[in-house]
Structure 1
């Protein structure tokens, strides 16, 4: 029997870990095979992306290698293109098939569909050409390099227009990703500016644009207002009830009429279900998420399971009709454990259990030693909230190896100065050799500065 897990994120990793433990006898006898298909050979712990972008954590310690952790599973690095559940097959592309332009098919007996989500973009003119995402570790490190290179540009130019655009940073979206990324990078850039003789912290403009009337809704209205006050105290321009209407020619045009020449537009305005869901014969809800039951089975379909961002799971912890669990890491990790347990039970003919978990709260970092939290009804801010943010996420990052490495880096960061080196040239490692060999080095896309993603 083959169990196919599509996706190597929170749900994919933790479900496979659970199944390794629960089905160890069957795996040992060769009766069951667990196959994990993921576009990357690692799982990214996304709550640490802002700290990786700020240089507080090494990028290597934000990711968990699947092959090391899932030793009893078969890992396939590839992208699932279509799923035909009626025939129990998926069509996928791998690194090998990309070379030939073909695809391959893989059959299965049980399907766990957990591809996660992708960035939700809007048809904003200029966004595709100049926008920078913040969804994976490559984008986080690319953004760090980009911000530091803007300081280099501002320091080396005499043109006031170029300097002003280089020192203007616009972030779209007031959720976790937008607020934490802006806060951490502003903290880093403010520290880095002391090493530039002609760039002061007051020269930089940091702008947060949010389409609704509040930011960080997960931590509650009161803590959201505190966050706005705290950011504005740091001279960060927070624009509520405002939208990005255009960023053509590197000019961010907002719905309130403001125009900001800028070389940095970071898009963090939400996510949407992975597009592979639309290429299946499985039932979806109005928002394109997989329609699931409280047992994490796909509604009305046998031998199919779902959880995480891609799944619409009924929230049985509340009496509110039609309410679904929020698509966040807290639910994804817990759903994965229930899913793994239920899948093992179903193979052994045992009754399934419902997923039920009350939301305990949220924590968010606002830079070094600053944060907000709303946990079990208690509201914290400043250093205690920041400490709780680090403690909680350290406890949740998979494997003791990663926990120890992250803790060691935090300890060393408290003893030594920040690293403020830009390594944007790593994105084109062969450029210098190609030029020396008489070839043409790779060029950055038009309007996309070196180091951006």
Structure 2
């Protein structure tokens, strides 16, 4: 069993290195505890910057915080958790050697994050990519640049139109940010190539919802929709995709589009590990009490995308149920601090406290000088929102070195990122199941 010689220190295992897992491990790093972080990767990805990575505004390394060297006394173990023996208090995982290993614990914090929520749509798994990993963002950037280069040597007509048609499914934050920034990028690229017109690029953003980013409120959502359309984006609401092939997409309204690019940004679901626990869930997320502990297993905590955390700031509904905290990075980061505090209190025999929060608002980067933000309930757009958005991301980035790198990337790229394709990611590696390791 990995890490069993732990002396007298209490053993805490944290599963996952996203916002929740990484934040909790940092908050728990003290010699009095033996803390192990089990992670499938060697870094913490700052996922909100993936659209910036895709358009070349941020270097991919700047968006990833290394685990080693930033977590103090925490032991980092590479591996993917696939089972928890709740009776033996053991986490089983597959290590880099593809063999099974075990980690014992006195307290367990589950923060494995989420994976792209896939639907049973013909061809989706075989032809679409997501936007939850650097691999996907890098492949998408190279692919879009390659489509523009291909269009430059094709005659005007259906083949060129198909090469420059891109479909994004999901008008939430990730899909809207990506589409807005990519549409801006391709229009500039086409304007710089003789024989091509910025209007040749055809970006479609589709969603079954009736509004773009409804969480921003009606006015800011309408502003974002207007911005997308000014950039030439064809926004289709109330529809989704019915099937995908290697050269076409069919929508649920019957429309058929010749294209070879489909990006699936239609939400996330809990990590598959949660379904193996045999414990109550809500929409795939593990049921926890307000103190972030799993009912019936007070030694197990869960946070972030994996946990159905009751939102104590909201009233109960007519059925007596309290709304759940949305699975956002802001909540995961705060829950990490609360869980670490409760684990320490728990092990010391002190009282644990419920998780409560005050909403700081939302930020959405739409590329160039444009953004939307709701800091402390104040609705902002344009340059003021841009300042708030970038300021928030810099403050939320875990280490000073990464903050400096991201700030330098933004300063150096300005409104003109370098248009260089490296071709380092194979298409098969960028497909959702492969990129996210399902």
TM-score, length-scaled by structure 1: 0.89
- Counterpart of 2:146 in structure 1 is 149
1:359 Cα offset (Å): 2.0
| CA deviation map 1:77-121 (0-9, x unaligned) | 11111111111112211111x2xxx31222211110010100001
Q: Indicate conservation of the 8 Å contact 2:184/2:231, yes or no.
A: no
- Equivalent residue of 2:203, what SS? strand
Deviation of the 1:125 alpha carbon? 1.3
Q: Corresponding residue for 2:389?
A: 389
Instruction: Tell me the distance in 2 between the aligned counterparts of 1:69 and 1:372.
Output: 32
Aligned pairs (5 A) from 1:45-194: 45-96=46-97, 98=98, 102-158=99-155, 160-194=157-191
**Deviation at residue 372 of structure 1 after TM alignment:** 1.3
1:38 matched to which residue of 2?
39
Match of 1:11 in 2: 20
Q: How much does 1:447 deviate?
A: 13
C-alpha distance in 1, partners of 2:244/2:428?
Answer: 16
- Given the alignment, which residue of 207, 221, 226 partners 1:224? 221
Cα separation, 2, equivalents of 1:410 and 1:310: 32
Gap change, CA 1:292 and 1:364, over 3 Å in 2 = same
**C-alpha distance in structure 2 between counterparts of 1:388 and 1:234, whole Å:** 23
Q: Is the 8 A contact 2:312 2:322 kept in 1?
A: no
* Cα 1:246–1:446 shift into 2, 3 Å: farther
Q: Is the 8 A contact 2:147 2:163 kept in 1?
A: yes
In the alignment, the residues of structure 2 paired with residue 382 and residue 413 of structure 1 have an alpha-carbon distance, to the nearest angstrom, of 19
Partner in structure 1 of residue 419 of structure 2 = 420
SS at match of 1:245: strand
What SS is found at the alignment partner of 2:210? coil
- Identify unmatched segments of 5+ residues in structure 1: 27-31, 429-443
Q: Separation in 2 of the partners of 1:351 and 1:140?
A: 44
- SS of the residue corresponding to residue 342 of structure 1 reads helix
How many aligned residue pairs are there?
420
Residues 252-311 of structure 1: CA deviation (Å, up to 9, x unaligned) = 111222211011110000110100111124x23231211111111112212100111110
TM-score by length of 2: 0.92
1:297 counterpart residue number: 293
Q: Do the aligned partners of 2:25 and 2:74 also contact (CA within 8 Å) in 1?
A: yes
- Residue deviations 1:359-381 (CA, integer Å, cap 9, x gap): 23211111111111223222111
Q: Structure 2: any 5+ residue segments left out of the alignment?
A: 1-9
1:241 deviates by: 0.4
Q: What residue number does 2:284 align with?
A: 288
Contact kept? 1:130, 1:447, Cα under 8 Å: no
Distance in 2 of aligned mates of 1:446 and 1:174 = 25
Segments of 4+ in structure 1 off by > 6 A? none
Does residue 213 of structure 1 match 2:210?
A: yes
Q: Cα–Cα, structure 1 residues 298 and 200, in superposed 2: closer, same or farther, change >3 Å?
A: same
